[in-house]
Amino acid sequence: MAEQQGQDKTEQPTQKKLDDARNKGQAAKSAEISNFTVFGSGLLLLFLFQGFIGQRLSSISSQIFISLDQFELSRSVIQIYAMKGFLFFFITLSPFFIGIILLALAVNLMQVGIRISPKALQPKFSKLNPIKGLKNKLFSSRTVVEVIKSLVKLIIIGLFSYLAISTLIVQSTNLLSQSIEEIVNFMSDAALSFLWKILIVYAVLSIADFIFQKYKFKKDMMMTKQEVKDEFKQTEGDPFVKGKIKTKQMEMSRNRMIQEVPKADVVITNPTHFAIALKYDAAKNSAPIVLAKGMDEVALRIKEAARKNNVPLYEDKLLAQALYKTCKIGEEIPEKLFEAVAKILAFVFKAKSQKKRIV
């Protein structure tokens, strides 16, 4: 969509939108670059293989002219010369056309990279609608832009060609006093010089078109703020739903933690803000471990669970704060708190052995 609910496209495209476009076969690609490659590579290969092509043409021409006096028209003779002609053009021109095809493919891969897009290969029956197709061809903004580009390209190349040919016409007035060989050489050099100059102009136009296609593709991929929000909901999930899920997960985690409180040896409190449940098993651990911890409402739940299961509560404001800030659930307490906790555990174990109640 160009716009959504009257919003302007002010946001940079997300990676998901770029990936989706790529999967559909959409990418910044300049047809002028491909055309320039075909034209330029063809001219270059023709220049490189001119000796080979000329030699082959001279050879087959000599064979034909030498055998003209012995030539008898028949079906078998026509078949022989047809096969010779096919082999000649295949051997002579195949390197030329293969080179053009390979270079054209290489340039296209350089523009868009290698990526198989099954969606781009799927048939779209909507394109078979002639009315819609005609409308898209004649009345779309893309068509107008392409027409303007073609006109500008035609005007630039036409003016350049006119200037170049005008110069050649002036120079050709001196050919009247020259030999046939000199005239042929002049025409050959002039043709190559003219084609190379046209190639340079075409290269400039192709680069300009490639930059324009990059800019246009980026502009087309821009998104509205609402599109970014909708995509975020699709990929990351609705923030409200995610918040509810996170709250539920935290509640489940707290419940599991509260279920561990009955296993504790002591719960150290602040007394109201913090509660930390500790368990010490000398056979398994080198220091007490934290079974549960919490503040405010969670601390109240820990203390309630401790009272229900006769787990001793021990009030130590500074130690409770230190344990809450420095300890993690399921891990041993830090070494700097060993001595303070050991005194409390010794007191608790002694009270238990004497069957005294600790509040």
- The DSSP secondary structure of 276-312, one letter per residue, reads EEEE--TTT-SS-EEEEEEETHHHHHHHHHHHHTT--
Query: Is residue 3 assigned to a domain?
Result: no
Query: Is residue 118 assigned to a domain?
Result: yes
Domain end (from 182, 199, 232): 232
CATH of residue 319: 3.40.1690.10
Q: Are residues 205 and 286 located together in one domain of the fold?
A: no
Domain end (from 174, 202, 232): 232
* For range 162-169, the mean pLDDT: 82
Q: Are residues 250 and 317 located together in one domain of the fold?
A: yes
Range scoring the smallest mean pLDDT among 25-29, 194-198, 221-225, 310-314? 25-29
Instruction: Report DSSP state, residue 269.
Output: E
Report the length, in residues, of the chain. 359
Question: Average per-residue pLDDT in the chain?
Answer: 77
pLDDT value for 276: 92
| pLDDT tens by residue, 104-115 | 777 777 766 665
Q: Are residues 110 and 251 located together in one domain of the fold?
A: no
Query: Domain total for the chain?
Result: 2
pLDDT value for 354: 65
Q: Are residues 53 and 147 located together in one domain of the fold?
A: yes
Q: How many CB atoms lie within 10 A of CB 349?
A: 14
Q: Is pLDDT of 255 > 80?
A: yes
Q: Are residues 168 and 255 located together in one domain of the fold?
A: no
Highest mean pLDDT out of 6-10, 154-158, 186-190, 300-304 = 300-304
Range scoring the smallest mean pLDDT among 61-70, 132-141, 217-226, 279-288? 132-141
pTM comes to 0.43
Q: How many CB atoms lie within 10 A of CB 355?
A: 6
Contact 27, 17 (CB under 8 A): no
- Structural domain including 293 reads 242-353
pLDDT value for 355: 61
d(CA 172, CA 164): 12
| pLDDT tens by residue, 275-304 | 999 998 888 888 899 999 988 888 999 999
Amino acid identity at 320: A
Q: Are residues 227 and 87 located together in one domain of the fold?
A: yes
